[in-house]
Amino acid sequence: MKTIKLSGLFVAAALLAFSCNKPSETVETTEAQEVAAAEGKTLEIVPEATTIAWRGYKPAGQHFGKIPAVEGTLAVQGEEITGGKFTFDITGLKIEDMEETDESYGKLWGHLQSPDFFDAANHPQATFEITGVEPFEAGDVIADQEQFATENTPKAASELSPANPTHWISGNLTMRGTTKNIKFPAAVSLENGAVSAKAGFNIDRTAWGLAYGDEATAVDKAKDKFIYNTVSLTLDVKAAE
């Protein structure tokens, strides 16, 4: 595996998202790959400070919230990141654009937990395991995918990505019993033995079997007749000794 060297306070490590000018797809998604050997010092994530923020879209509106972390580690050897694994609690998913006391909150939460989406009864957790690291070169760009235009067109990859990514991170993302390898830009800082990692990206939910309202099968693109396959994710990870 290719590891990363820390440059000043910056290094790369952590989770999920978009490709550069090499592939033309929205996100570079491939079959699962061999997980990187985690060598060196092990840092534990800080669960209360580690989350995935999610945002889903349909022509008539958007929903957004967070998925909490339950456990995870990041391995550091000298000035190198050598591996890592993170686990997130799908059953702890929160919806932040409505009050929990609203009847609509319970309906949407239940639908997201159902077999139409995460099938949380059978797959209550999502995981991400690092498989590789590459430097984010000066000539690399974050490609934006063309989306069907509505009042709620999904955010572009370049809008979600950190302002100054340092590396491309590859890893196996497992949801709903399906594992796919994804590659994304990330920016990570290392200070006083602690690591803070940030990444923002889009995924195609249908690659993991979350196919309810699949826009690709919509008879037409009339308002509110489909749900965008694109889901935006924003990752914030903190790990320390």
Interatomic CA distance for residues 72 and 74, integer angstroms: 7
Single out the residue of 185, 7, 165 nearest to residue 79, CA to CA.
Answer: 7
Burial letters 221-237, b for 16+ CB under 10 A, else e: eeeeebbbbbbbbbbbb
- Which residue carries 């309202």 as its tokens? 213
Q: What is the pLDDT along the chain (241 residues), one digit of tens a residue?
A: 444 433 333 333 333 333 333 333 345 788 988 998 888 899 999 999 998 999 999 998 999 999 999 999 998 776 667 789 999 999 999 999 999 999 999 999 999 999 999 999 999 999 999 998 788 888 888 888 889 899 999 999 999 999 899 878 889 999 999 999 999 999 877 888 888 889 999 999 999 999 999 998 877 776 578 999 999 999 999 999 8
pLDDT of residue 92: 97
Which residues make beta-bridge pairs with 128?
86, 173
pLDDT of residue 78: 67
Single out the residue of 146, 162, 166 nearest to residue 154, CA to CA.
Answer: 146
CATH assignment of the domain containing 175: 2.40.128.110
Q: Is residue 10 exposed (0-12), middle (13-18) or buried (19+ Cβ within 10 Å)?
A: middle
| Cα torsion 147, 149, 154, 157: sign | positive
Query: What is the number of structural domains in the chain?
Result: 1
pLDDT of residue 30: 86
pLDDT of residue 194: 87
* Residue-range definition of the domain harbouring residue 222: 4-240
Single pTM value for the model = 0.85
